[in-house]
């Protein structure tokens, strides 16, 4: 019988913005943690292309369950002590925050691996879709093979 790592997991899917600061502060308050890694994804404007907005659609219910399962798996694989994930949906303009993943761990290599693992899963397994609005119209964002390759790295041998 393997002992299960217990950890504080928080998952939110919301239209409102989130505070990276608050998430960091909550993670830093977890006892016996030496390492906190946060990742934030922003709506990226491109110099060539006039992006007006990203519209994010998701599968309510399944999105939250997926994110929670990913967080739980990351806790077990990397001995994380806490995970916080907030993913925004709806209409987001350039430079706005899309997603934050924050993890607290005893050691830095676990914290880095845990946060990257969650992002790689999120990018390929969680039912969220982006539609790009620019000056020439709208376009559904295509899934990238590089994201699938990033995800495949984590499969257990």
Partner 1 sequence: MIKILFFGALRERLQQDSLNLPLTTSCSVEELQHKLCFHSPAFTESFTSANLLCAVNQKLTKKDQMIQSGDEVAFFPPVTGG
Between 79 and 124, CB nearer to partner 1:
124
> Which of partner 1, a second copy, none sits in contact with 33, Cβ below 5 to 8 A by type?
a second copy
Considering beta carbons, is residue 13 or 118 the nearer one to a second copy? 118
CA distances from 95 to 25, 55, 80, 135 (A): 23, 14, 29, 17
Chain residues binding partner 1 by CB under 8 A are: 41, 56-59, 61-62, 65, 87, 98-99, 108, 119, 122-131, 140-143
Rounded CA separation 118/156 (Å) = 15
Least Å distance, CB 67 to partner 1, is 10
CA distance 20 to 38: 8
DSSP string, 70-126: HHHHHHHHHTEEEEEEEEE-EEE-TT-EEEEEEEEESSHHHHHHHHHHHHHHHHHHS
In the bound complex, what is the minimum distance in angstroms from residue 39's beta carbon to a second copy? 5
The residues that touch a second copy, with contacts defined as CB under 8 A, are: 20-21, 24, 28, 31-47, 95, 97, 106, 108-109, 111-112, 115-116, 119, 146, 150
């Amino acid at each position: 019988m393997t002992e299960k790592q217990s950890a504080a997991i928080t998952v939110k899917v919301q239209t409102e913005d989130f505070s990276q600061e608050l998430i960091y502060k909550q993670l830093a308050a977890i006892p016996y943690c030496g390492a906190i890694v946060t990742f934030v994804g922003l709506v990226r404007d491109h110099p060539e292309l006039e992006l007006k907005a990203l519209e994010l659609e998701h599968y309510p219910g399944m999105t939250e369950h997926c994110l929670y399962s990913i967080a739980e798996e990351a806790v077990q694989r990397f001995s994380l002590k806490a995970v916080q994930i907030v993913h925004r949906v709806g209409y987001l303009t350039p430079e706005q925050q899309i997603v934050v993943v924050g993890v607290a761990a005893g050691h830095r290599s676990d914290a880095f691996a845990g946060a990257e693992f969650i992002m790689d899963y999120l990018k390929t397994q969680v039912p969220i879709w982006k539609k790009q609005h620019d000056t020439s119209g709208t376009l559904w964002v295509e899934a990238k093979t590089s994201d699938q390759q990033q995800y495949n790295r984590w499969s257990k041998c």
